[in-house]
Amino acid sequence: MYCPKCRVKYKNDISLCPDCGELLVESLPPANKPDYHGMVVVYTTSDQSKILIAKSLLEDADIKFFASGDGIMDLFGAGRLGFNPIVGAIDFKVKPEDEEEAKEILAGLIEDELDDDLDDEYVDDEEDEY
Protein backbone atom coordinates (compact mmCIF):
# COMPACT_ATOMS: atom_id res chain seq x y z
CA MET A 1 0.00 0.00 0.00
CA TYR A 2 1.15 3.51 -0.76
CA CYS A 3 0.41 6.92 0.71
CA PRO A 4 -0.65 9.14 -2.19
CA LYS A 5 0.54 12.24 -0.33
CA CYS A 6 3.92 11.10 0.97
CA ARG A 7 4.44 8.71 -1.94
CA VAL A 8 5.87 6.14 0.44
CA LYS A 9 5.25 2.41 0.40
CA TYR A 10 3.88 0.78 3.55
CA LYS A 11 3.20 -2.77 4.69
CA ASN A 12 -0.14 -4.23 3.72
CA ASP A 13 -1.55 -4.43 7.23
CA ILE A 14 -2.19 -0.71 7.68
CA SER A 15 -4.71 1.43 5.84
CA LEU A 16 -3.84 4.92 7.02
CA CYS A 17 -0.54 6.71 6.55
CA PRO A 18 1.27 7.00 9.90
CA ASP A 19 2.76 10.30 8.79
CA CYS A 20 -0.15 12.25 7.38
CA GLY A 21 -3.22 10.11 8.08
CA GLU A 22 -4.10 9.81 4.39
CA LEU A 23 -5.93 6.68 3.27
CA LEU A 24 -3.42 4.37 1.62
CA VAL A 25 -3.96 3.23 -1.95
CA GLU A 26 -2.83 0.09 -3.76
CA SER A 27 -0.86 1.90 -6.40
CA LEU A 28 0.49 5.40 -6.65
CA PRO A 29 -1.29 7.84 -8.96
CA PRO A 30 0.92 9.70 -11.43
CA ALA A 31 2.88 12.52 -9.84
CA ASN A 32 0.67 15.54 -9.67
CA LYS A 33 3.40 18.10 -10.12
CA PRO A 34 3.51 20.63 -12.94
CA ASP A 35 5.67 19.40 -15.76
CA TYR A 36 8.40 21.91 -16.45
CA HIS A 37 10.11 19.74 -18.99
CA GLY A 38 9.90 21.04 -22.50
CA MET A 39 8.90 24.51 -21.36
CA VAL A 40 10.80 27.24 -23.15
CA VAL A 41 11.98 30.48 -21.62
CA VAL A 42 10.52 33.41 -23.52
CA TYR A 43 11.47 36.23 -21.21
CA THR A 44 13.84 36.82 -18.33
CA THR A 45 13.87 39.87 -16.14
CA SER A 46 14.66 40.88 -12.59
CA ASP A 47 12.58 44.03 -12.77
CA GLN A 48 9.52 43.49 -10.62
CA SER A 49 7.32 45.92 -12.53
CA LYS A 50 8.17 44.12 -15.77
CA ILE A 51 7.49 40.77 -14.16
CA LEU A 52 3.99 41.99 -13.32
CA ILE A 53 3.48 43.40 -16.80
CA ALA A 54 4.64 40.19 -18.43
CA LYS A 55 2.36 38.20 -16.15
CA SER A 56 -0.72 40.23 -17.02
CA LEU A 57 0.11 40.25 -20.74
CA LEU A 58 0.37 36.47 -20.79
CA GLU A 59 -2.76 36.07 -18.70
CA ASP A 60 -4.70 38.39 -21.00
CA ALA A 61 -3.60 36.28 -23.96
CA ASP A 62 -4.66 33.09 -22.16
CA ILE A 63 -1.19 31.64 -22.41
CA LYS A 64 -0.33 29.15 -19.70
CA PHE A 65 3.05 29.95 -18.24
CA PHE A 66 5.35 29.39 -15.32
CA ALA A 67 7.60 31.97 -13.81
CA SER A 68 10.56 30.57 -12.02
CA GLY A 69 13.73 31.88 -10.51
CA ASP A 70 16.30 31.09 -7.89
CA GLY A 71 14.66 28.82 -5.37
CA ILE A 72 11.22 29.55 -6.74
CA MET A 73 9.47 26.79 -8.59
CA ASP A 74 6.36 28.69 -9.52
CA LEU A 75 5.14 32.12 -8.59
CA PHE A 76 1.71 32.17 -10.09
CA GLY A 77 0.72 28.54 -10.28
CA ALA A 78 -0.39 26.10 -7.62
CA GLY A 79 -2.88 28.53 -6.14
CA ARG A 80 -0.26 30.83 -4.74
CA LEU A 81 -1.79 34.25 -4.31
CA GLY A 82 -0.21 37.60 -3.95
CA PHE A 83 3.23 38.59 -4.96
CA ASN A 84 6.29 38.15 -2.84
CA PRO A 85 9.38 40.28 -3.22
CA ILE A 86 11.83 38.49 -5.41
CA VAL A 87 15.56 38.66 -5.56
CA GLY A 88 17.21 37.76 -8.81
CA ALA A 89 16.02 37.16 -12.32
CA ILE A 90 12.79 35.40 -13.14
CA ASP A 91 12.34 33.18 -16.17
CA PHE A 92 8.98 33.13 -17.89
CA LYS A 93 8.39 29.72 -19.40
CA VAL A 94 5.66 28.65 -21.78
CA LYS A 95 4.84 25.55 -23.75
CA PRO A 96 6.76 25.28 -27.05
CA GLU A 97 3.55 25.69 -29.06
CA ASP A 98 2.93 29.02 -27.32
CA GLU A 99 6.49 30.27 -27.68
CA GLU A 100 6.00 32.39 -30.78
CA GLU A 101 2.81 34.02 -29.55
CA ALA A 102 4.30 34.71 -26.14
CA LYS A 103 7.40 36.30 -27.63
CA GLU A 104 5.24 38.49 -29.83
CA ILE A 105 3.18 39.61 -26.85
CA LEU A 106 6.29 40.31 -24.79
CA ALA A 107 8.20 41.93 -27.64
CA GLY A 108 7.72 45.41 -26.17
CA LEU A 109 9.16 44.34 -22.85
CA ILE A 110 12.04 42.51 -24.47
CA GLU A 111 12.94 45.59 -26.50
CA ASP A 112 12.85 47.73 -23.36
CA GLU A 113 15.34 45.38 -21.80
CA LEU A 114 17.69 45.68 -24.78
CA ASP A 115 17.42 49.49 -24.69
CA ASP A 116 18.38 49.46 -21.03
CA ASP A 117 21.45 47.39 -21.82
CA LEU A 118 22.52 49.78 -24.56
CA ASP A 119 22.08 52.77 -22.26
CA ASP A 120 24.22 51.12 -19.63
CA GLU A 121 27.00 50.42 -22.11
CA TYR A 122 26.91 53.98 -23.37
CA VAL A 123 27.28 55.37 -19.87
CA ASP A 124 30.11 52.96 -19.15
CA ASP A 125 31.99 54.08 -22.26
CA GLU A 126 31.67 57.70 -21.29
CA GLU A 127 33.02 57.05 -17.84
CA ASP A 128 36.02 55.26 -19.27
CA GLU A 129 37.08 58.34 -21.22
CA TYR A 130 37.45 60.48 -18.13
Binding site for Zn ion (CB under 5 A): 3, 5-6, 17, 19-20, 22
Whose Cβ is closer to Zn ion: residue 5's or residue 64's?
5
- Alpha-carbon distance of 77 to 26, in angstroms, equals 29
Buried b (16+ CB within 10 A) or exposed e, 2-21: bbbeeeeebeeeeeebeeee
Whose Cβ is closer to Zn ion: residue 18's or residue 34's?
18
Minimum CB distance to Zn ion, residue 29 (Å) = 13
Task: Give the helix ranges, DSSP H, for the chain.
Answer: 48-60, 99-105, 107-129
Minimum CB distance to Zn ion, residue 24 (Å) = 8
Whose Cβ is closer to Zn ion: residue 20's or residue 25's?
20
Minimum CB distance to Zn ion, residue 40 (Å) = 35
Whose Cβ is closer to Zn ion: residue 30's or residue 38's?
30
